[in-house]
Chain A
Amino acid sequence: MRTTRWQRWSGLLFIAPWLITFLWFTLGPFIASIFLSFTNYRFIGLPEWVGADNYVRLFTDDPKFIRSIINTLYYTAVHVPGIMVMAFFVAILLNQKVKGQPIYRTAFYLPSVTAGVATAYLWILLLQPNGLVNQFLGIVGIDGPNWLTSSTWAMPALILMSFWGLGTTMIIYLAALQGIPQHLYEAASVDGAGVIRKMWHVTVPMMTPAIFLTAVLQIIGSWQVFTQALIVTNGGPRDSTLFILLHLYRTGFEYFQMGYASAIAWVLFVIILVFTVIQFGVARRWVYYEGSAER
């Protein structure tokens, strides 16, 4: 096809809406936030340059910030492996020829679609001392704690709540399971592999791309927990569920220390970036992509 100069440039017209909003609402603010993080700005007047003071204060003079990082690490360490194992298990359960499969799939998936303030309210109710969670524990003979007023149990409560939202992870696994060619299992059978060996030597290796993807997504998500921390526990009791994003929100939009809040945002951004880069770096050693010679 002949390309005139008009044709060469007219493609830009199609992407112009994105380009304009990107420059205006993303790139501009992105650069501005680097600048702001080196200033003292209280939403009125002019930003006052303070150099690296905000960053120094974060790590030397802000126990709440350190606390929020520890809390987030705690949440990540339990939530991410937990939700992945549970979602894997549920995906295996659902990947069978079962009557009424859509019904079961809906039961597991629906909670992740309805996530938000409404489900947070629901969990306040479920986590009451006489709520559903404790009633259920009572059946097994466990005397459940008062989840939301205990600084020991509030974080486990939020993690428990997070397991209710395994739907997205589960669907990714389910799709990956269905993509495993049947002949691999047949070959394994011929070689005399049992159920467990097939699982370990066929299913799991073929699933590594999906496992990797969900690990990346879940870790990024863990650093951005907000709604449940604000609604269900409001960061408490005694800062035991103060997540880093909640700390940023309060600093920036309740105390209006916007320069300082920008510094928090940048530290959070760098943390997420480092975690993601590390994961991609390590991925080569354990993620198996079909069709590529390397393993």
Chain B
Amino acid sequence: MTARTVETGLASAAVPSGGRTIRSRRVQALQLLLRTVYYVILIGASIMYAIPFLWMIRASLMSLDMFYVVPQPLVPNPPAWNNYTDVWQVGPVLWWITNSTIVSFIGVTVGTFISALVAFGFARLRFPGNRILFLIVISTMMLPQHVTIIPQVILFRELNWLDTLLPLIVPLLGGAPFYIFLLRQFFLTLPLELDEAAQIDGASRMRVFWTVIMPLSKPAVATVAVFSFISHWNDFFFPLIVLQSSERLTLAVGMRWLQAGQYEAQRLHLQMAIALIAVAPVVILFFFAQKHFIRGIALTGIKG
């Protein structure tokens, strides 16, 4: 905003003046200066934000010795590619990745579908208690997870679900309040005539949902799916509490195994290698679905 308004502001200031050439040359010089300062700040700040990722890649390719050389080599030479083979031996990493994938996949597919179904019910169908129940959805959205966690763990123990993926999966089957809210808001923006036209043609409600509403809501559904993947993939607090055996862990929880002692740098190279493996799917997804992220956050930002 500033630079654009600066330009227009300065330009309009320049017009009424009589000595046009001198004035406008000065203005041009000032604009150029402002533009340069702007780019220096923008590029400088962007680099500062990006560098930690480069550091992650760099450290993941350093041998352990390189951490103790003073000064540390800027570019690890030769790169310790074997970190990426060694890291698989620190624990059942393949299991961790499989478990994380299972939970994230079910969250993205079944979780998103059910959130949409429930959102459709709230947005389009009249039934007793619609408004009150939706108010409850909104309030659970703000309910912090920790308030219910202890009785939940006791419940999962009674069900014999502790140390399985079930506590992570089964609650997903009811959809997530935040996504229900988001999708409902989106469904409300679609014209009601569409539903009515389909119903006059004899379509059932389920058919209206699946063949009218869902196809029109692809962007919103995609946003929810992407958010849902990231949040399940990164989830830490809850799986940390319900999972225990090494093969049952998700990747985020399993990664803790590599942490030797509190302030030791002992396995930093392997930690970085596995951190990079954990971050990679999220980064790749982000690059493919950038639009959906930005729109989704803007959507929640404005309507939340």
Contacts and interface: CB of A to CB of B under 8 A. Distances in A.
A114 B279 contact: yes
A231 B256 contact: yes
A132 B271 CA distance: 17
Contact of A21 (B56, B146, B174): B174
Nearest to B53: A110
Interface string A104-138: 11111111011111110111111010101000000
B173 A10 contact: no
Nearest to A273: B142
A110 B48 CA distance: 13
Nearest to B129: A12
Interface residues of A, number: 103
Interface in B146-179: 146-155, 157, 170-171, 173-175, 177
A116 B236 contact: yes
B21 interface: no
A30 B148 contact: yes
Interface stretch (B83-91, B101-109, B217-225, B286-294): B286-294
Indicate the member of B4, B157, B174, B294 with the most A CB atoms within 10 Å.
B174
A121 B146 CA distance: 24
Contacts of B122: 15
A25 B118 contact: no
A92 B256 contact: no
Contact of B127 (A11, A110, A268): A11
A281 interface: no
Contact of A171 (B144, B170, B294): B294
Contacts of A28: 151, 155
Contacts of B245: none
A148 B262 CA distance: 10
A33 B282 CA distance: 35
Contact of B290 (A3, A106, A115, A227): A106
A106 B272 CA distance: 21
Contact of A96 (B38, B137, B209): B38
Interface string B256-290: 10110011010010011011101100110011001
A269 interface: yes
A36 to B, nearest CB: 6
B42 A185 contact: no
Contact of A14 (B41, B117, B237): B117
A14 B268 contact: no
Nearest to B72: A130
A224 B118 contact: no
Contacts of B189: none
Nearest to B113: A17
Contacts of B51: 132
A122 B150 contact: no
Contacts of A114: 234, 279, 282-283
B92 interface: no
Given A3-B126, A33-B151, A96 B143 contact: no
A73 interface: no
A40 interface: no
Interface string B10-42: 001000000000000000000000000010011
B67 to A, nearest CB: 9
A33 B127 contact: no
Contacts of B146: 224, 245, 248, 265, 268-269
A10 B268 contact: no
Nearest to B253: A117
A102 interface: yes
Given A17-B114, A117-B252, A132-B52, A125 B298 contact: no
B3 A96 contact: yes
A21 B173 contact: yes
B301 interface: yes
Contact of B1 (A20, A132, A149, A203): A203
B297 interface: yes
B304 interface: yes
A268 B149 CA distance: 13
B17 to A, nearest CB: 15
B82 interface: no
7 contacts: A9-B127, A18-B175, A25-B170, A113-B286, A122-B272, A132-B52, A175-B301
Interface of B: 1-6, 8-9, 12, 38, 41-43, 45-47, 49-53, 55-56, 59, 70, 72, 114, 117-118, 120-122, 125-130, 133, 136-137, 140, 142-155, 157, 170-171, 173-175, 177, 180, 196, 199, 205, 209, 230, 234, 236-237, 241, 252-253, 255-256, 258-259, 262-263, 265, 268, 271-272, 274-276, 278-279, 282-283, 286-287, 290, 293-294, 297-298, 300-302, 304
